[in-house]
Amino acid sequence: MRRVTSRSAAFTLVEILVALGIFSIVLVAIFSTWTSILRASKVGTEAAAAVQRARMAGRTLEEALGSTLLYVANRPYYTFMSENGREGYLEFTTHLGPSFPRSGKFGGLDVRRLRFSIRQHDNDREFILQQWPYLMDMDKDEQNFPLVLAKHVQEFKSEFWDTKLQDWTDEWTKTNELPVMVRVTLKLGDNEVSQRVRQTVCRIVSLPSIGVSPVWQSTGAMAPNPGNPALQNNPALQNNPALQNNPGFQNNPAIQNPRGNPFNRP
């Protein structure tokens, strides 16, 4: 008689342990790859944001300095002040366009005082911008929540072109005058604790350093100045048909010669 035996298929304990080990290795490899991708993405995003911030900081500095103002009759409102060092700053009055950061906040008040400075915030040094209308005081919003242009600042330095020395100087003492050129350097680190300079932003800006004379600040075309011979004998003013019907010129003794107002001649 023939004996029939049955055998059931099953995994042994060793096979199960080997399979679990392989599965664990695959999971670890996938997790490591995924975390590396996330870390690289974060580093790339932060680097791109830092580059963009540095670019915007340089552009903001360049735009602001290129439109500085100085009206001679009102010098106290147009002082140009600077200081280098760990708490360095740069402050001046300028005329800004509608595309300048936070311009919408000031409702068409385009002539404003700007202050670029360094602020210590949460163990980090930030490059900030504060602004306010030049005949008003800085409001609490600008004091407490300034515009942050860059982070991880290692150094902020301003240099000025000395026309006598024909060289750059790091001190500007003529606060009632504008320098001919300004060189601004901003050095940024990797993070708040790093001492290594990752990026340097440098801008050289030529300023409209000649102040607006009081004679052009009057409500008329020209302020009275009877003793100004440069205006009395200026044929470009006396023979300019575009000015003959301008009351500000017709009634202005600054441009009259001894025979009377040249614009009233037949």
All structural domains of the chain with their residue ranges: 59-206, 215-261
Q: What is the pLDDT of residue 125?
A: 92
Amino acid at residue number 174: K
Under the banding of pLDDT at 50, 70 and 90, the label for residue 140 is: very high
Average pLDDT, the chain: 81
143 token code pair = 């004091």
Higher pLDDT, 244 or 125: 125
Q: What is the pLDDT of residue 156?
A: 94
Pair type for strands 89-95 and 124-133: unpaired
H or E element, residue 61 = helix 13-65
User: Whole-structure pTM over 0.85, yes or no?
Assistant: no
CA–centroid distance for 234 within its chain: 42
Ordered strands of the 111-121 beta sheet: 81-83, 89-95, 111-121, 124-133, 147-150
Higher pLDDT, 216 or 34: 34
- What percentage of the chain has pLDDT greater than the value 90? 42
